[in-house]
Amino acid sequence: MLEFKILEELKPNNEILEVIKSYSYQIKNGKTKHLLYTNLKFIEPTEYLITSPTNLTILEYKVNEISNKPFYIKKHNQKYNLREIIHILNNLTII
């Protein structure tokens, strides 16, 4: 059986939390895991599930300095940076 050791618990982004506090939402913290007896590491993203006014799932990945778009919206199948995510979340109330 595969055994994992949790290296780091990833916390939610405070700036997104400020924007989504007026919506109904759930958060699942991300994790960085190490597969024991190997040199493999796995990253589970932080998941923001907005349930009202629309269903929207935003994944936040811990990324290196090269990538500038750590957010992914499942519904759109596209990566975003923080400024774009905040813009999308602000437009949810207009729709």
Q: Give tens-digit pLDDT for 14-39.
A: 988 988 888 899 999 999 999 999 99
DSSP-assigned beta bridge partners for residue 78: 73
Tell which wins on pLDDT, 48 or 89.
48
Say yes or no to pLDDT of 48 above 90: yes
Tell which wins on pLDDT, 25 or 93.
25
Using CA atoms, how far residue 63 sits from 32, 50, 81, 82, in Å, is: 11, 23, 12, 13
Distance CA 54, CA 24 (A): 9
pLDDT reported for residue 49: 94
Please tell me the total count of domains within the chain. 1
